[in-house]
Chain A
Amino acid sequence: MARIELTHVTKRWGGFYAVDDLDLLIEDNAFVTLLGPSGCGKTTTLRMIAGLETPTTGKITIDGVTVFDSDAGINVPANKRRVGFLFQNYALWPNMTVFQNIAFGLSNIKEPGLSVTPEGEIVRNPDAGGTPRKLTKEEIKSIVARVSAIVKIQPFMDRYPGELSGGQQQRVAIARTLAPGPKVLFMDEPLSNLDAKLRLEMRSELQRLHLSTGSTFVYVTHDQMEAMTLATKICLISNGVLQQYDAPLTVYNRPSNTFVADFVGNPAINFMNARGSQQADGSFSLRLLENYDAVFTPAEPVQTESWYAQAEKEIAEFDAKVRPAEKTNKDVPFNYPIAMVNDVPDSREPDREDWVVGVRPEFVHICEDGPIEGEVFSAMPTGMETTVRIRVGNFLLTSVVFGGITYRIGEKIRIRFTGSGATLFSRVNGRLVATGTVEVK
């Protein structure tokens, strides 16, 4: 079991900061997904932990052992870190059979106190001393037999990778990674090359593998569905900067800013610009969708003034330590999308009375007595659910309705925001102010 700790890790190429001052703690036996859009630095982070990329500065420890420390001049090479890495394209060596692929890592092990159980499990006991030794052919065979049984590839041991299907190649890659008994298993978008059905199957198998091996899994993906379904914790990165590191449902229900709220969830959250102020009872009196008055009631008390003071302090601290990234695009706040029929740019500089209300599609309820009037802009039934886009004035809202309901384009309907999962963000800095309910009058 292993605990991974990254402290002030930065990776820079020239003036471009791929990963910027990242602090991250991955607990033993966790299944952590590094989530973010393409080019955000998640793969770089993973490769730095595995030793395939050298950080510019910072410190990385695995299982209490410092594997990289720029100040102390420590950089343990990749082949000595004992971490497994599952590559996006599997990286199976085409010139070796399945057996040879899996046995390759085992043939490189040379340690003192090495033994193999009759079940084919490596037991490492370096404290036992003795001269370092390599695994015997029989031992390698028994280990390969064990891991190949886990991923069910025993019938293909004499085949070459080119003779296997995508799913079989994936299994071989997993077996090859598991064989040397890594402390941690890193996976770099390992399901992205599989078709949708197989991906779903493999997702479930990875979950079971995590349970059966008891290893720490770190998984890179840009697919938020994969992250939500597999992880015990999601680490959401944007532009090399950590945005949120929480359990999947926390990330979904309490996104720390508009970027996280927008990135997680499919269909995406409905953002609505709102203007108004906090009332004496703590609620927010808002005007949204141009013509509608609404009240946002926070689930937990929040004081606007003190909240802004705290946020500004944090932002100042962040700005002080974070260097400008490529073209200083980290200074530009996330441009959250407001869905409109005809785009109307809003060039007004936001002030403290400007807010963004976020409502997930499942909380946009179509009902006869709803306060908001709209018409069906498009409807996409999948059988299990129907995604309806509703036009309200110039704005578009998305609703998800359970079941295959047929809507007519242009049909007049009424809607209501339900549940307590609405989110209120500051338009000034994009940060989450509170979660709660939003009621349109």
Chain B
Amino acid sequence: MQAPIVSKQKYDLGKLWGIFGGVLFMYLFLGFMVIPCFNTLTSVFRETDAAGNPDPFAVIRFFFAGNMPLFLWNSIKLAVCLVVTVNVVGISIVLLTEYFDIKGAKILRLGYMTTLIYSGVALVTGYQFLYDQNGLMTKWLIEIFPGLNRQWFTGFNAVLFTMTFACTSNHALFLRNAIRGIDYNTVEAARNLGAKPFKVLLKVVMPTLLPTLFSLTVMTFITGLCAMSAPTLLGFNSINPEIVRLAGSSAADESFPQARAALLSVILAMCTIALLLVLNHYESKGHYLSVSKTKAKLVKQKIQNPVTNVLAHIYAYLLFIIYMTPVVMIIVFSFQNWGNVRNKVLDMSSWTLSNYFGNQDYVYQNWKGREMVSKGAISGVFGNEKTLGGIRLSFIMSAIAAALACVVVVIAVNYIFRHKKKKRGKLVEACMLFPWLLPTILICYSYRTFFNSNVFYVFGQNLYMRENVRILIVMAYMVVKLPFAVRMIKAAFYAIDEELEDAARNLGASPMITFLRVKLPIVLPSVLAVFALNFNALFSEYDMGATFKKAEGTTYAMVIQSMCEDEGRNNVNMNASGRRCASTVFIMIISGLILYLVYGVGARDLGERLAIRERRRKRLQKIGRRLGLSHAAAEDAEVRID
């Protein structure tokens, strides 16, 4: 009889790796999440009075005595209004393209979904370009409505208008999926029992969409509360721009700038946590679950009343125009010369690529009438070193952060699944979701203030100094993307049949081999999708770049913003608007390409992917035979291709 193997006494390499991983995880969690944020929280209470005595409530008193509550009120006002407008537009676009039979729904859907590739600072500057006092659309609108205030697109109105159309992308994705999941038999049953179309919509369709709508409402509210790029660029005093302003201010200019920024961040965090708790409570109550064994596909509903039908079509196409106009105009103007772009005049005879590839000098006369030359003042996205530098930096930092987030999350989720019934599994998951509770601005502000000194656990370095800020930005990028990555990759792990893992274990594979050879290849498409989506979001990200505002960390979005600010100043950057249009087109192309790879190529099921691989293999073999390659050489070529 063989001696029994006693697993309890076995200390293998895996356990050592486990201990190392645990220590590293705690270092990262405490060092880059808990300690900096805790420092921000406590900084509110660390101020002193004029005599130098500690005065923990000085900032709070100052907060209520001054105009600080106004920022809070403005943010709440924006969030509440946004919830209404975004839901109205979001529900409309989904019903118009998915539920009602509207002619040209496919085209309309494409228009409504442009916010997926055109968002953030690019979208805000695009809207600004069209709707500000000299904007093309404002000019046209004044021709139609002469009484319209030329300044209509400023402050709250502008922010609300822009964000209403910018924030419907979640509706376009999630509400669309929810409505597609409705069992059509339930609609037919209601119709069969005599319900009118509107009643069917209200009593049968909408209740099943409520859980999704509630989540979207909460997320929209948080978005409104934490709005950054639109209020900053369009001039609206809300919390986030004020935090960034205060963070860059000094005590010489105003009282407690840093502590006030911290207090605003903490208030924002408390609001976010409260909203997420509400969402969690709602979700924990459970939802209406479909009991259908076989779901029937939703058939689009014809609007029977001709007047209503016409009105619905008008409304649908009006929304389409609002969505598409900035996109089309930005693309068109990106090919116009700088003069036309600055004057916002469309000249069908002067098309140019200078906004993309140009690098021309600008010749002008100074006040003495002397002819002067401004070198390279008219340059394209790919001809301007500053823009290219921003693109390069954003590209590298986004790629590193997105990749790191994926690696960390894949390892963590694998651990969570292996210990899902144990407290440590739940603890790791809670740690990974921790950044979700905190607004991005709080994390970035905490990083900026806490790491702006020599911190012992980062080898005594000041991470906000010079190029070090790039490490800080990458860390911030990674941390804020962790919760999203956890939710997506966890869903992919859930989809793995547990028996696949059991089968590997049963056939003698160690946990590491099982992970590398069985689980990882299965979740890889989802991991790549998460990488792509995170990269996409980070590449044109504005909020974090603005918070870290530093010459060595000037991201692409910040370059776009600065283009708006210094156009034509001192006879440089003459075609800044044109270059901005071109760079927006570039972002759209990159985003569109990534979304295609994720949802187009990546969404192919394994069967399709295998079929493509098989076709490629056969093609290669054929080529190999034609070229007279030996069998081994052909095989080698196949391996290299794989």
* Contact surface of A with B, Cβ cutoff 8 Å: 47, 50-52, 64-67, 69, 72-80, 82-85, 87-89, 91-96, 104-105, 108-109, 160, 162-163, 176-177, 180
Taking a contact as CB atoms under 8 Å apart, the answer to whether A108 and B513 are in contact is yes
Taking a contact as CB atoms under 8 Å apart, the answer to whether A105 and B4 are in contact is no
Q: Which of B205-213, B408-416, B497-505 contacts A (4 or more CB under 8 A)?
A: B497-505
Determine the chain B residues whose CB is within 8 A of the CB of A84 once the complex forms.
506
Taking a contact as CB atoms under 8 Å apart, the answer to whether A76 and B606 are in contact is no
Contact of B610 among A50, A78, A105, A163 (CB under 8 A): A163
Determine the chain A residues whose CB is within 8 A of the CB of B1 once the complex forms.
64-65
Which B-chain residue is minimally distant from A82 (CB atoms)?
B508
- Counting chain B CB atoms within 10 Å of each CB, the highest count among A77, A78, A91, A96 belongs to A91
Q: Which of B484-514 contact A (CB under 8 A)?
A: 497, 499-500, 502-510, 513
Q: Provide the B1-29 mask, 1 if CB < 8 A to any CB of A, else 0.
A: 11011111000000000000000000000
Q: Provide a sorted-by-A list of 28 A–B residue pairs whose CB atoms are within 8 angstroms.
A: A52-B505, A52-B506, A64-B1, A67-B4, A69-B4, A74-B4, A74-B5, A74-B8, A78-B502, A79-B510, A80-B508, A85-B502, A85-B506, A87-B502, A91-B499, A93-B503, A93-B504, A93-B522, A94-B606, A95-B522, A96-B517, A105-B508, A105-B509, A108-B509, A108-B513, A160-B606, A162-B610, A177-B507
Contact of A73 among B8, B503, B517 (CB under 8 A): B8
Q: Provide the B252-263 mask, 1 if CB < 8 A to any CB of A, else 0.
A: 000000000000
A173 to chain B, nearest CB (A): 8
Taking a contact as CB atoms under 8 Å apart, the answer to whether B5 and A80 are in contact is yes
Complex CA gap A12/B296 in Å reads 41
Taking a contact as CB atoms under 8 Å apart, the answer to whether B508 and A79 are in contact is yes
Complex CA gap A122/B355 in Å reads 70
Contact of B518 among A64, A66, A93 (CB under 8 A): A93
* Contact surface of B with A, Cβ cutoff 8 Å: 1-2, 4-8, 497, 499-500, 502-510, 513, 517-518, 521-522, 606-607, 610
A44 to chain B, nearest CB (A): 13
Taking a contact as CB atoms under 8 Å apart, the answer to whether B610 and A176 are in contact is no
B155 to chain A, nearest CB (A): 55
Determine the chain A residues whose CB is within 8 A of the CB of B499 once the complex forms.
87-89, 91
Determine the chain B residues whose CB is within 8 A of the CB of A51 once the complex forms.
505-506
Determine the chain B residues whose CB is within 8 A of the CB of A177 once the complex forms.
507
Complex CA gap A96/B517 in Å reads 9
A367 to chain B, nearest CB (A): 45
Given contacts A108-B507, A162-B610, contact A74 B6 (CB under 8 A): yes
Given contacts A89-B499, A95-B522, contact A83 B5 (CB under 8 A): no
Taking a contact as CB atoms under 8 Å apart, the answer to whether B517 and A104 are in contact is yes
Determine the chain A residues whose CB is within 8 A of the CB of B509 once the complex forms.
79, 104-105, 108
Determine the chain B residues whose CB is within 8 A of the CB of A76 once the complex forms.
4-5, 7
Contact of B502 among A69, A72, A91 (CB under 8 A): A91
A185 to chain B, nearest CB (A): 11
- Counting chain A CB atoms within 10 Å of each CB, the highest count among B499, B507, B607 belongs to B507
9 nearest A-B residue pairs (beta carbon):
A105-B507, A108-B508, A91-B499, A91-B503, A95-B521, A85-B506, A78-B505, A87-B499, A79-B508
Which A-chain residue is minimally distant from B505 (CB atoms)?
A78
Determine the chain A residues whose CB is within 8 A of the CB of B7 once the complex forms.
74-77
Given contacts A69-B4, A94-B606, contact A180 B507 (CB under 8 A): yes
Given contacts A78-B505, A105-B507, contact A91 B497 (CB under 8 A): yes
B472 to chain A, nearest CB (A): 38
Determine the chain B residues whose CB is within 8 A of the CB of A163 once the complex forms.
607, 610
A438 to chain B, nearest CB (A): 44
Which A-chain residue is minimally distant from B617 (CB atoms)?
A158
Determine the chain A residues whose CB is within 8 A of the CB of B521 once the complex forms.
93, 95
A87-B499, A162-B607 provided; 6 other pairs, C-beta below 8 A? A76-B7, A83-B506, A85-B503, A93-B500, A95-B522, A176-B507
Which B-chain residue is minimally distant from A77 (CB atoms)?
B7
- Counting chain A CB atoms within 10 Å of each CB, the highest count among B5, B508, B510, B518 belongs to B508
Given contacts A65-B4, A74-B7, A104-B517, contact A94 B503 (CB under 8 A): no
Complex CA gap A163/B607 in Å reads 8
A50 to chain B, nearest CB (A): 6
B4 to chain A, nearest CB (A): 5
Determine the chain B residues whose CB is within 8 A of the CB of A104 once the complex forms.
504, 507, 509, 517
Complex CA gap A88/B125 in Å reads 57
Which A-chain residue is minimally distant from B498 (CB atoms)?
A91
Taking a contact as CB atoms under 8 Å apart, the answer to whether A77 and B8 are in contact is no
Contact of B497 among A80, A89, A109 (CB under 8 A): A89
Complex CA gap A89/B499 in Å reads 8
Complex CA gap A262/B513 in Å reads 46
Complex CA gap A25/B383 in Å reads 81
Contact of A162 among B500, B503, B606 (CB under 8 A): B606
Taking a contact as CB atoms under 8 Å apart, the answer to whether A77 and B505 are in contact is yes
Determine the chain A residues whose CB is within 8 A of the CB of B4 once the complex forms.
65-67, 69, 72, 74, 76
Taking a contact as CB atoms under 8 Å apart, the answer to whether A78 and B506 are in contact is yes
Which A-chain residue is minimally distant from B522 (CB atoms)?
A95
Complex CA gap A74/B610 in Å reads 43
Complex CA gap A162/B612 in Å reads 14
Given contacts A74-B6, A76-B5, contact A91 B500 (CB under 8 A): yes
B421 to chain A, nearest CB (A): 9
Determine the chain A residues whose CB is within 8 A of the CB of B503 once the complex forms.
85, 87, 91-93, 176
B15 to chain A, nearest CB (A): 13
Complex CA gap A83/B500 in Å reads 16
A227 to chain B, nearest CB (A): 22
Taking a contact as CB atoms under 8 Å apart, the answer to whether A160 and B610 are in contact is yes
Determine the chain B residues whose CB is within 8 A of the CB of A95 once the complex forms.
518, 521-522, 606
Which A-chain residue is minimally distant from B3 (CB atoms)?
A65
B159 to chain A, nearest CB (A): 48
Determine the chain B residues whose CB is within 8 A of the CB of A108 once the complex forms.
507-510, 513
Complex CA gap A76/B8 in Å reads 9
Complex CA gap A320/B579 in Å reads 85
Contact of B508 among A50, A91, A180 (CB under 8 A): A180
